[in-house]
């Protein structure tokens, strides 16, 4: 199911008539070719139709199981195939995850993303994973997980437990994908996305820039995302973090303006989706962040430091947002108390579903 054999979905796949899923690769390429100022003006105009331009959604990410992944994603320090010196950590205890989520919420995060370095979850891990979803959800936060490929029954169980978002990235264009990963196919990824959607969860799906791909691959990635029958609600655009020991450790610098350009095109193609600045932000200047927000990025991952910084005023991200007059987007999904009853998420509790 690549460019050549996937038919774009019909035009209006959402209740909003301005949203299209029938973009052609040529239209996407033309957007990339626009003069920079024209592109940013268009992206900003679209952004203002759909979002408060001075608000960003804030997520926090926790690795609930780290390293020893059998896959061979060339950018990833968690693959067992590359010697990156990463310490392997088993699946975390449910209560420890909920405690971290509570800290993140107190520091201002509205969505808590939990990531496990798996090809796909084992059935024996599912009770703990589902308990984590229930526990974080009970805090009144949005929940997101990234656990690798899912079966139908696993997707249904996660949805049943209340998982709001499932993250599964396409990474790059179908054509360049084979240069990056050999242990699972682009179609495998699209199938997991379909399962997530069918189970009723929201989709978080994007890619990584700066892996040595060409502009046509960035066109291909965005075209894939923008022609899914329903756009991903969340579109993370990552910049490669060059980790020593991985095959992409010595990749050339990503051109900053091309990165911003990609954000702007994503905003125009998927006007109602949150476009997220994710990995690689540590290397981005304040000016690049500001341009990315102007281009339509409206979601960020807070760094890990948020969980350990006593005074959030000292947090670099919050300082930047304050400088730009940008506020955290308020959460309206849940309104549960900060101190939920553990019986509702304890995997060993008879109250847990
Ligand atoms: S599947 Fe995920 S954790 Fe595993 S190597 Fe690929 S990116 Fe890393």
Q: What is the pLDDT of residues 130-182, one digit of tens each?
A: 999 999 999 988 999 999 999 999 999 999 999 999 999 999 999 999 999 99
Helix (H, G, I), strand (E, B) or coil at 43: helix
Q: Which of 242, 267, 276, 281 is catalytic?
A: 276
| pLDDT at res. 8 | 46
Give the position of tokens 């679209």.
Answer: 46
76 is catalytic: yes
In this prediction the pTM is 0.84
b/e code 37-62 from CB counts within 10 Å (16+ = b): eebbebbbebbeebbeeeebbbbbbb
Residue 93 falls inside a structural domain: yes
Q: Which atom of ligand 1 is nearest to the CA of 69?
A: 4
What is the residue-averaged pLDDT of the chain? 84
What does the alpha-carbon distance between residue 44 and residue 116 come to, in Å, rounded to a whole number? 35
50 C-alpha to center of ligand 1: Å?
A: 33
The DSSP bridge pattern shows strands 165-167 and 202-204 to be parallel
Q: Which of 20, 111, 134, 204 is catalytic?
A: 204
- Asked if residue 222 lies in contact with residue 237, where contact means CB atoms within 8 angstroms, the answer is no
Q: At what angle do helices 152-161 and 126-137 cross, to 10 degrees?
A: 30
Residue 198's domain comprises 25-329
| pLDDT at res. 331 | 60
Residue 16 falls inside a structural domain: no
Residue 141 falls inside a structural domain: yes
Please count the other Cβ atoms lying within 10 Å of the Cβ belonging to residue 247.
Answer: 18
| pLDDT at res. 174 | 96
What does the alpha-carbon distance between residue 294 and residue 299 come to, in Å, rounded to a whole number? 12
Q: Which of 20, 69, 105, 218 is catalytic?
A: 69
Residue 337 falls inside a structural domain: no
Tell me: pLDDT of 348 over 60: no
pLDDT more than 90, % of the chain: 58
Please count the other Cβ atoms lying within 10 Å of the Cβ belonging to residue 215.
Answer: 14
Tell me if 276 is assigned to a ligand binding site: yes
Q: Which residue has the higher pLDDT, 125 or 18?
A: 125
Tell me: pLDDT of 217 over 50: yes
| pLDDT at res. 349 | 36
Residue 5 falls inside a structural domain: no
| pLDDT at res. 281 | 79
Distance of CA 319 to the CA centre of its chain: 23
| Structure tokens given for 34 | 């626009």
pLDDT band at 16 (very low <50, low <70, confident <90, very high): low
Helices vs strands, H then E, count in the chain? 11, 10
113 is catalytic: yes
Q: What is the pLDDT of residues 237-263, one digit of tens each?
A: 999 888 888 998 898 999 999 999 999
CATH at residue 186: 3.20.20.70
Residue 78 falls inside a structural domain: yes
| pLDDT at res. 328 | 79
Q: What is the pLDDT of residues 20-32, one digit of tens each?
A: 999 999 999 999 9
Tell me: pLDDT of 330 over 80: no
Q: Which residues line ligand 1 (CB under 6 A)?
A: 69, 71, 73, 76, 78-79, 117, 148
Handedness of CA 345, 67, 181, 250 (dihedral sign): positive
What's the domain count of the chain? Answer: 1
Tell me if 76 is assigned to a ligand binding site: yes
| pLDDT at res. 98 | 94
- Asked if residue 129 lies in contact with residue 172, where contact means CB atoms within 8 angstroms, the answer is no
Residue 131 exposure: Cα atoms within 13 Å on the Cβ side: 25
């Amino acid at each position: 199911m690549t460019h050549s054999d996937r038919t774009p979905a019909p035009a209006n796949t959402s209740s909003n008539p301005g949203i299209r899923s029938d973009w052609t690769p040529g239209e996407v390429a033309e957007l990339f070719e626009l003069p920079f100022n024209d592109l940013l003006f268009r992206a900003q105009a679209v952004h203002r139709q759909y979002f408060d331009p001075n608000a960003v959604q804030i997520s926090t990410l926790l690795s609930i199981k780290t390293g020893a992944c059998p896959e061979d994603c060339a950018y990833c320090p968690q693959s067992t195939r590359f010697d990156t010196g990463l310490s392997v950590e088993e699946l975390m205890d449910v209560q420890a995850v909920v405690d971290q989520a509570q800290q993140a919420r107190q520091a201002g995060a509205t969505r808590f993303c939990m990531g496990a370095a798996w090809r796909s979850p084992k059935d024996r891990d599912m009770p703990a994973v589902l308990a984590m979803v229930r526990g974080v959800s009970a805090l009144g936060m949005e929940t997101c997980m990234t656990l690798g490929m899912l079966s139908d029954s696993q997707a249904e169980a996660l949805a049943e437990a209340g998982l709001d978002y499932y993250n599964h990235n396409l990474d790059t264009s179908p054509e360049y994908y084979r240069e990056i990963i050999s242990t699972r196919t682009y179609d495998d990824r699209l199938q997991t996305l379909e399962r997530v959607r069918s189970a009723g969860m929201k989709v978080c799906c994007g890619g990584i820039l700066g892996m040595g791909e060409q502009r046509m691959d960035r066109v291909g990635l965005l075209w894939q995302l923008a022609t899914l029958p329903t756009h991903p609600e969340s579109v993370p655009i990552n910049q490669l973090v060059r980790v020593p020991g991985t095959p992409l450790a010595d990749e050339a610098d990503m051109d900053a303006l091309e990165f911003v350009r990609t954000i702007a095109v994503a905003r125009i193609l998927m006007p109602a989706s949150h476009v997220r600045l994710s990995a690689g932000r540590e290397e981005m200047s304040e000016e690049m962040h500001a341009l990315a927000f102007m281009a339509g990025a409206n979601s960020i991952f807070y760094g890990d430091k948020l969980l350990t910084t006593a005074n959030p005023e000292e947090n670099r991200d919050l300082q930047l947002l304050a400088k730009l007059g940008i506020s955290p987007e308020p959460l309206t999904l849940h309104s549960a108390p900060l101190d939920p009853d553990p019986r509702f998420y304890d995997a060993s509790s008879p109250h847990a579903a």
